[in-house]
Amino acid sequence: MKTIVLVEDDERLAELVCQYLHNNGFNVTRFASGEGLIECIKKAQPDAIILDVMLPGYDGFTLCRQLRQFYAGPLLFMTAKSENFDQVLGLEIGADDYVVKPVEPRVLLARINALLRRTSSVSIPAKSGTVVSFGHLSIDKLSRRVHLSGEDISLTSHEFDMLCLLADNASQVVERTTLYKELIGREYDGLDRSADVRISRLRKKLKDDPQNPYRIKTIWGKGFFFVADAWGDE
């Protein structure tokens, strides 16, 4: 059974979510705040984390930043409609997706399953080999590790999947619709900035120039372009 950690201080909502996910084949560990959460995740390394934004003590953004220092798995925010939730900030600090409360349990389940399917599907090594290299960049699909000029680059599961998709289509434009369908699990509506935010995070970690990117380029109106011969220098 897949294991999920739910961080939610609303007792009634937490019980509803826990019961629904349990009935659909998940083991769920619930926290009402961030107290004890970091230690639990370090030991258990669950398959996914559902994190409320407004919590007693540390808020969800703060906890997400702390978790992303050592946890690379799927992380999904839950936010109330009345909250001034900053979607871009949530994605920039490492969330993979978010849902708005009150959320239909089946919608939450669908989002979780989409994240888990994506993670599981790319964990299978490609037939052409598990390690892909471009200059000083090395991507090991089996161990899900990335090295650039000998340095270990820490990526979230979503960032790793995006890099693999771009690298597998090196020197070709990967359309936004493809990114949304294969990595985010929904259709691109023309306004969603999720892909742009994730690309921006990926560029920073791979030492690309944020003002004038030359390793992962944006092709306006189309998508993104992984430059195969741009990894020879740091």
Reported as a single tens digit per residue, the pLDDT across 123-147 is: 444 444 588 899 999 999 888 889 9
Backbone angles phi, psi at 82, to 5 degrees: -75, -15
Lowest mean pLDDT among 79-93, 120-134, 194-208: 120-134
Largest CA distance in the chain: 54
Least Cα distance to 179 among 218, 143, 146, 206 occurs for: 218
Q: Do residues 179 and 222 lie in contact, with contact meaning Cβ atoms separated by under 8 Å?
A: no
Q: Do residues 55 and 164 lie in contact, with contact meaning Cβ atoms separated by under 8 Å?
A: no
Ordered structural domains, the chain, with CATH: 2-122 (3.40.50.2300), 131-226 (1.10.10.10)
The rounded percent of the chain whose pLDDT value lies above 70 is 91
